[in-house]
Each structure stands twice: as C-alpha cells, then as structure tokens.
Structure 1
C-alpha cells in the first residue's frame, strides 16, 4: 500500500511489474516497522555483513542495544544524490537501505573511468553514501544494500575493490535468503495480541 501512496504504482497497477521493488519495499518494511525492534528489524539487521571490522563491531553494538522502535522511517527519501528506498534515523544513527529484487545497480561509473575517490563516482551506492554522510550530522552512518544472494555477491565484488564509498559510512550487505532464515527464528509468542 505504501508504494501506491507514494505514487510508485499507477492507479490501475499497469506499471506494477516495473515497480516490483518499490512494492516489495513498501510491503515488507512498511509492515516490519510496526514490530518492536527486537522482534523485527533486529533479525533483519543481524544478517548485515560489513567488510570493515570497525563498522562490523559498531553495527553489532547498535543492534544489541536498540530496544522497542527506531525513531523514524522514511520511504523513498530524495535529495540531489538520488532516491534511497528506506531511510531510518534515530538520535544516534542514520541507516539508508537500498533494495533490489530484479534490477541491478541503477548507475555506474563508465568502464574506462576510474573515479579518484567517492566524491566523483557515479555509482548508485557511492551517491547514496554521500547522501547518508550529509544526513549523519555526527551520528553513526550506515548504508545497507539488500538484494538476492547472487546479485549481492556481484555488487560486493565490484564495490569493495574501489574507493567509492564515503569513509564515514559503513557499507553493509544483506540478502533476501538470509533474512528469510533469520525471520523464521522469531518467537511470535512474545507479541501482544489485541483483545476482542
């Protein structure tokens, strides 16, 4: 429903196949945001892999300490660097999530151009790292890339051997398959149900 509210899907649904990632984003993260952190997002975020040990440790500390609900979730946040699928902010952290399902990275540096640093790269994740860096204002900053396993591995390989991510932003990778396995472990008996 969020994808429809944000005009990501036409009223007739005629562009639904083109916007499947937006529908998935809205349905999945739009639902999970209503669960307490330890029953929802914690299980999702625990699957994130960071290839820099410092960010890995800090990330694990954040998800270990977080309770109840994260302060604010925005969908399809837009600035001059582009439009990121999910932006989660609290007093101490900014988390951007780029979600892929069928399509790959939407922008990339030309094959014959090696950007000098992250400020010059056209790569979608590089641009989003600059966005998260600006929004952080002294808070810890993370960019998560969520995709099917094979796509995630391809993006890891093409991203980590270049200096295209802001050094102040932790780039983490998650795959749908790991999230599914993690969500299967949730103990739903801890959920309070409404009374009739």
Structure 2
C-alpha cells in the first residue's frame, strides 16, 4: 500500500520547490488527492516512478558575491554551448555564493537531484565552480548514484585565483568568529597574520 506524502515531502523527492509541485499538480503532470481539510497528498510510489523529472544533464554555474552578473552569464554560455554541441538537453543551475558555503540553494538542489536519481550528467566549467573545499565529496555522491561528471576546464585562471583568495578570507572569518573567537589574544594575533597573508596574495 502506498504511503501518502505532504507537498513539502513531495518537493524533496522531486528535487523542486513546493510551488513547482503545485503547478505540476494543476497541470496534470502529477496527481494528488485532497484531505478533508483541503490539503494535497501524493502517493510515494507514483512520485518515484513519475516520468516528470529534472533534465538528464545539469550545468552548474557559480560566482562569488563580489563578481558580476556578466561573469555568471559568460559561465552559463560556456556550459550551454558545450552541451548543445554534444546534443545534451541541459538545464543550468545558477548560484551566487562563496566556494566554502554548503547551504546555497543551487548546491542543495543539485545534491537532491543526485540522491533522488534525477540526474544523468553534471557539467562544470571547472572543478572549483562547484566548491573550493568539498567538491570531491559531491563527486563521490555522483559516483555512488551513477552520475557522469564532465569538467570543461575553461575557467579563467586569474578569476580562479581571485575566487580562492575570497574563499580563504571566508575561511579566516569563520575561524575567527565560530571556532576560536576573538577574545583570546593569541588567536586574535593569529587571525591578523592570516589576514595579512590573504592581502599579500590578492595584491
């Protein structure tokens, strides 16, 4: 007997937002029943076997907060062109955040798609576009769930160095505020030294 899921649970399985689930239900792409209180409920087995799913190929594009929309568009164009040349139906996930931020919406959605068997192929312009630290963990998930990873390696090296410097600054900030705190004079001195090193890298 099939179990019934709330709209939030259905969205997690499908790897989309609850707004998208409502739209798909209204359009007849998926079916639901209504509780006496008028809430939607979805059969778990129907969702798991549903043919409506994410694109088989996802291109993931990310910029740091200090980068421009034009830089994001250039990255997206490279991904789209690469996929079109190979006849892949590609959807692009955009993110704007630090390379050490694991809570960005696009990254979370990507991981959900991988873990729910909704993805055949992941395309990146460069490995570090995914995460500066921790990308290998996501690649391991791709291997476990049978997702092919394609890295174009077309990222500008200068831009990549800038990203690494920005990510290092984020790590230092986390180190300062979350791990050791700033009250200890020895730790404060250590943080200042790290900040000076970061400035010298960016100069």
Please identify the structure whose Cα radius of gyration is greater: 2
Report the structure, 1 or 2, having the larger strand content: 1
Structure 2 length-normalised TM: 0.25
Q: Whose relative contact order is higher, 1 or 2, with alpha carbons under 8 Å and at least 6 apart? A: 1
Report the structure, 1 or 2, having the larger helix content: 2
